[in-house]
Structure 1
């Protein structure tokens, strides 16, 4: 008679200590996931409030652009305010900042505007393509004399763009850095913000204003659902593991090497 081949023993039930450690670990991770989900819910509420506040500013009636007494207090709460200002453009001090718009690649035309009190505000007059970068190619748009500009107040954009730093010495600009542009053009008494001009047409059609993109990504609900979903899945898996019992060794049926008749 052939000796029976022993079957491999199946896993025993986990010890109480292992069950406690597993349960505490799973509970801790679940709490972290729920916390992340709740944080995203709070972020979503903040983002929705920001969007509503910004929309209200953009569509409000224009107010005078901030004057020197309040410059020190300019901050995020002033961004995208609808403002108006008057003065004369200093076209000989304009700066071209690289831009990509619905019109393609080109430049923002940033021109200082001198107000009656002698202070300066940088105005983003709008977009020009590469073949219009030279003032002579858009001479009609180089308006002389008193002008009134209406647009959106924007906060300075220091240093440059992603992976691209402004290079004032080479006259290469990737962001509208008010302080750096003012220094490079020898300007004093410059407002700490700039103004994006609205879509009022310029003579000759260039620059094209009114291209400010007011958009805030809002994916917080997706992130919240993801974190909460992971927490729920982990909780379900943990309960299944803690409540389950592995089956013991089977005692029914013949072993290998035995016949049904034995």
Structure 2
């Protein structure tokens, strides 16, 4: 290989190697972020429940508030429940969302839990009287699920879109979040406590893959550039 070709090969390979190294470093940063996120959520799950955020805190809510354990006290409103398609460890079915009027004066949606597909055609327990619901704060899920848009007209729901559900049920303004009731709050059907809390953490594997590719390419180019011309 001539000197000019060696230089051309190096000029072509160096940006690719640098790009692969950059991707590896980026995955290392993502690994640190994911570990911090998992630690934060685990700390929230182990903490005592806080009062459900009132209207004075709604505008300040962010993704960092998700999965906080909260408690709300009040009464369920006499509105039809909303069934949102779900897939859980118990199989396919629906989440059951009902509006609750807090004793602090605001309305919010409560995911009372999961019911199997055939349970939708059967009467569900209609909670009456004062209740205290404990569970996880979940942020609004607007529009719909993957490749499936919510259809309020036909009452078909693929995500827990609190504003659209509130408009459909005619219950007025609601909190920009809902609560996933825990199992102690919702025994039987609907079955609470089925929130899936799982954060895939493959960033170390990805980082090692990018670094290995960079090392392999750099080694291959170095070998080709330094081998004798007769080869």
* Shorter-chain TM-score above 0.5: yes
State the shift of 1:62 in Å.
0.4
TM superposition outliers: structure 1 runs of 4+ over 4 Å: none
Give the count of matched residue pairs: 231
Query: Matched residue of 2:142: which SS?
Result: coil
Alpha-carbon distance in structure 2 between the residues aligned to 1:200 and 1:91: 23
What stretches of structure 2 of length at least 5 have no aligned partner? Answer: none
TM-score between the two structures when normalised by the length of structure 2? 0.96
2:11 aligns with 24
Match of 1:68 among 51, 55, 75: 55
Max Rg structure: 1
Shift of 1:28: 1.4
Tell me the CA shift for residue 135 of structure 1: 5.6
- How far 1:101 sits from its partner (Å)? 0.9
CA contact under 8 A between 2:133 and 2:185: conserved in structure 1?
A: no
Shift of the alpha carbon at 1:201? Answer: 5.6
Aligned pairs for 1:150-161 within 5 A:
150-161=134-145
RMSD: 1.4
1:126 aligns with 2:110: no
Q: Please give the secondary structure, in 2, of the residue aligned with 1:190.
A: coil
1:166-192 deviation line (CA, Å, top 9, x unaligned): 000010000001111111111223100
Structure-to-structure mapping, 1:132-143, within 5 angstroms: 132-134=119-121, 136=123, 138=124, 141-143=125-127
- Secondary structure, aligned partner of 1:28: helix
For residue 43 of structure 1, what is the aligned residue in structure 2? 30
In 2: Cα distance, 1:93 partner to 1:86 partner? 20
Task: State the distance in 1 between where 2:71 and 2:121 align.
Answer: 27
Offset from partner CA, 1:9-41 (integer Å, 9 cap, x none): xxxx32x22221211221111111000000000
Output the TM-score relative to the length of structure 1: 0.85
Give per-residue Cα distances to partners, 1:46-85, cap 9 Å, x unaligned.
0000000011112210010000101111111110000000
Distance 1:71 1:201, change over 3 A: closer
1-side partners of 2:186 and 2:12: how far apart? 65
User: In the alignment, is residue 208 of structure 1 matched against residue 180 of structure 2?
Assistant: no
Listed as ranges, the matches of 1:105-254 within 5 Å are 105-134=92-121, 136=123, 138=124, 141-200=125-184, 202=186, 205-247=188-230
Give the C-alpha shift of residue 116 in structure 1.
Answer: 2.1
Q: Give the Cα–Cα distance (whole angstroms) in 2 for the partners of residues 60 and 220 of structure 1.
A: 28
Residues 135 and 142, structure 1, Cα contact 8 Å, conserved in 2: no
Q: Distance in 1 between matches of 2:186 and 2:72?
A: 16
Q: Deviations over 1:202-247 (max 9, x none)?
A: 46x2100000111111111111011000000001101101101232
